[in-house]
Amino acid sequence: MRYREEGQVHMDFHRTTNGTIAYLRNNYGQDFLDETFRATARDVYKSIREDLERGDASQLVEHWRYFFSREGGDYEISEECDEIRLEVKRCPAVSYLQGKSIEVDPGFCRQTSVVNSTLVENSEFEIETQVLGNGRCVQTLRKRRNA
């Protein structure tokens, strides 16, 4: 997997990300912020996107497992038939921000939805992202009905 950082986890990264999202949204608008998220999906997560375009979701699932485990998230991944479901019960990023009494920007969890939809754009997959609040979400990856 390309996206495997090692060494000490600096959870303050999430504070910086949250602040950057707030700055971009407040100063450049939601459309600009969404395009930034789409560029991240296309460019930063390029190999995950390319694997999905080839019909292979394994790198995305490995990415989920690695980072949620590395940062101490509470999550479950289930794989049934043609559906892979990530249930995040406690997002480590949101939990960290809340623990520092930092307001979580409305765009913070939106990034997950926009990145996910961009990752699967040219693939046989669709992904449904349900943001449930308080660091909880469900992300369901499945093959498109017409694929």
- pTM for the complete prediction? 0.90
Domain assignment of residue 4, yes or no:
no
With CA atoms as reference, report the closest residue to 39 among 29, 54, 49, 25.
49
CATH assignment of the domain containing 79: 3.30.1380.20
> Which structural domain range is residue 110 located in?
12-143
The sign of the torsion formed by the CA atoms of 126, 132, 133, 135 equals negative
Looking at the structure of the chain, the number of domains it has is 1
With respect to residue 7, please indicate whether it lies within any of the assigned structural domains.
no
User: 44 in a domain, yes or no?
Assistant: yes
Which tokens sit at 67?
A: 């980072």
- Residue 22: partners with Cβ closer than 8 Å, 6 or more residues away: 105, 107
Q: In the chain, where does DSSP find H-type helix?
A: 12-28, 30-39, 46-53, 58-70, 92-99, 106-119
> From the CA atom positions of the chain, what is the Rg in Å?
15
- pLDDT tens digits for 62-109? 999 999 999 999 999 999 988 999 999 999 999 999 999 999 998 899
**Is 5 inside any structural domain?**
no
**Is 114 within a domain?**
yes
Q: Is the pLDDT of residue 3 over 70?
A: no
Give the rounded percent of residues in the chain with a pLDDT score beyond 90: 84
